[in-house]
Amino acid sequence: MGKGTVYTSESRSFYDRRTGTHIRQITTASAHHHHPFFIIPAYDDNMKRLIFVSHRTGTPQIFAEERSTGQLRQLTDRTEFSEWSVHPSHDGGAVFFTAGTSGWRLDLETLEERELVNFSATEMQDEGMVAAAMGTTALSHDDKWWAVRYRVGDESVLKIVSTETGESEIILRRDSIAHLQFCPDDSNLLYYAGPLTDRVWVIHRDGTGNRRLYARNTEKNEWITHETWIPGTRELAFVDWQRGVRCINVDTDEERQVTSFNAWHAICNPEGTLMVADTNFPDIGIQTFNPRDGIGEPIPLCYPNASSLGEHWDGQFPYADGPVQVYAPQHTHPHPSFSPDGKYVVFTSDRSGFAQIYEATYTT
């Protein structure tokens, strides 16, 4: 067993008992699995493959479900792999990831791994289980540019890498950089999360235009988190926990309310006409809602019954006086996201005792 090993399909189907939604379980092995972080697509645009991480070999490795056959294929067999750094290309040709202090391009046909860049980092991820500790990366929608954050000493560094040549440029150095995502309508613009007390920032790919898009209201002790773009609008949405989701237009700074329920990890379909979110405290399942009508009435899709660990979410913003240690293993969170055609929502649940990957069919 190792790189290139093909496993027979583990797919099984059932219906959610409360909503009647058709659910397909993609993995069943007695090990933890998860798809990429919710702001990162799990599928290529043509939905040839679904990319995920499996611990079935004893260490986290990249796998793919070949959707035409249901077969599962192991794509890597390596050490020092950062499992939340995985980012599939939109054209279906490659997966980008970090391992050690290098950034790699994995060819999905040949399984050749090519080192694109060595970051000369002292560490790629911060300590802990959340935000900068996850080591997420971002890929532009034209697949030309890969954004990676890392640390050198006490400084966070943001580097942009050409996916063709590996040429790279540092565009930002500052105290803290966490999750990032390119604007789906502009490959020259991306958001990044700053410190937990000052999250919402945008910057151009060449390093210009670095600015705070939203300043947290300290009097309200706001908990601002989980940013994501709304396609077709140039609006950046963010969770105001537990007050709902708001968004700001990057060109006009106009702000509006998107929804008011306890959306936790919320993201749009590719058209920007529908959002999906998991929930917590209380867990009311995975909900879908309209991000453009100013109401965002939630409609239940399914109930993943994940453990969604992270007791710090059940209370006020915990970071106002500085960092705190939390226990929030990310594979216990559903992290739902849409397929490129908008027909499915992929999510993770540890309802069986192991984190497995599921796919819910969305019907209007």
- Averaged pLDDT, 142-170: 96
Would you say residue 169 has pLDDT above 80? yes
Residue 43 within any structural domain of the chain: yes
**What are residue 106's DSSP bridge partners?**
95, 113
Strand partners, 34: 53
Considering the domain boundaries, does residue 256 fall inside one?
yes
Does residue 292 belong to any structural domain of this protein?
yes
User: Does residue 114 form part of some domain?
Assistant: yes
In angstroms, rounded to a whole number, what is the distance separating the alpha carbons of residues 29 and 47?
A: 23
Residues with Cβ within 8 Å of 219's Cβ and at least 6 positions away in sequence, in order, are none
Q: Which two tokens stand for residue 203?
A: 């910057």
Domain of residue 67, residue span? 6-361
Rounded CA-CA distance 7/317 in Å is 44
DSSP H helix total and E strand total for the chain: 0, 30
Q: Which residues pair with 54 in a beta bridge?
A: 33, 61
Q: What is the pLDDT of residue 319?
A: 95
Cβ 345 vs Cβ 276: under 8 Å: yes
1 domain residue, yes or no: no
Does 1 score more than 80 pLDDT?
Answer: no
> In this predicted structure, what is the pLDDT of residue 62?
98
120-124, 134-138, 180-184, 308-312, range with the lowest pLDDT: 120-124
The domain total for the chain is 1
Least confident of 123-137, 324-338, 345-359: 123-137
Core vs surface per residue 330-343: b (16+ CB within 10 A) or e: bbbbbbbbbbbeee
pLDDT digits (tens, 9 = 90+) for 196-216: 999 999 999 999 999 999 999
Predicted pLDDT at 249:
98
Q: Which residues are 87's β-sheet partners?
A: 96
In a domain, 93, yes or no: yes
What is the mean pLDDT of the segment spanning 3-15?
A: 98
Closest CA to 148 of 122, 106, 180: 180
Residue 112 falls within a domain, yes or no? Answer: yes
Residue 322 pLDDT exceeds 90: no
Distance CA 303, CA 17 (A): 9
Stretch 301-320: mean pLDDT: 97
| Model confidence band, residue 123 (pLDDT cutoffs 50, 70, 90) | confident
Q: Give the strand pairing for 33-34 and 49-54.
A: antiparallel
Q: What is the reported pLDDT for 133?
A: 86
Q: Quote the CA–CA distance of 70 and 50 in Å, as a whole number.
A: 10
CA-CA distances (angstroms) from residue 268 to 71, 229, 288, 296, 315? Answer: 28, 8, 9, 12, 26
Q: Mean of the per-residue pLDDT values for the chain? A: 97
User: Where residue 15 sits, what CATH number does that domain have?
Assistant: 2.130.10.10
**163 located within any domain:** yes
Q: Return the pLDDT at 348.
A: 98
* Cβ atoms 42, 27 nearer than 8 A: no
* Mean pLDDT calculated for residue range 268-293: 98
Residues 6+ apart with CB under 8 A from 215: 198
- 41, 157, 282 from 347: Cα distances, Å: 11, 30, 18
